[in-house]
């Protein structure tokens, strides 16, 4: 009696090995795409943070620009407080909504929004 593998056993083993190799290559490719997307997102967050920190004294308006592959829009709007939240003296700080939108591809985008307080406008000055 001979010992060894039959041709059928070898073919089945090669088919299983081939499928495993293809699956590993697809997994590595998907992993590289995720690393690229994560890097793009991280860079967009850094840009959005920098754009938000550049607003020293908020005033209403919209600014747009481009930095490399990233297109950005910074929008500052005055938030009107409901009467129950306004102090009785009327000398309340003004509240602004700061929105930063970053776009870098058809599928890549990031929107960040925060609130900023500014001192009350001086008497007679309307902003």
Q: Which CATH class is domain 7-118?
A: alpha beta
Burial grade of 71 (CB within 10 A; 0-12, 13-18, 19 or more): middle
Predicted local distance difference test score (pLDDT) of residue 19: 97
Tally Cβ neighbours within 10 Å of residue 37: 13
Predicted local distance difference test score (pLDDT) of residue 93: 74
* Residue ranges of domains in the chain: 7-118
- Give 28-74 pLDDT, tens digit per residue: 999 999 999 999 999 999 999 999 999 888 889 999 999 999 999 99
- Give 64-102 pLDDT, tens digit per residue: 999 999 999 999 999 887 777 776 666 667 889 999 999
């Amino acid at each position: 009696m001979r010992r060894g593998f039959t041709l059928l056993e070898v073919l089945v083993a090669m088919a299983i090995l081939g499928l495993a190799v293809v699956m590993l290559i697809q997994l590595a490719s998907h992993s590289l795409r995720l690393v690229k997307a994560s890097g793009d997102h991280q860079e967009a967050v850094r840009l959005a943070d920098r754009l938000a920190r550049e607003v020293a004294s908020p005033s209403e308006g919209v600014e747009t620009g481009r930095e490399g592959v990233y297109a950005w829009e910074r929008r500052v709007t005055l938030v009107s407080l409901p009467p129950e939240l306004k102090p009785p003296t009327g000398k309340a700080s003004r509240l602004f909504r700061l929105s930063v939108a970053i776009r870098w591809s058809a599928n890549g985008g990031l929107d960040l929004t925060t609130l900023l307080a500014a001192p009350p406008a001086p008497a007679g000055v309307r902003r």
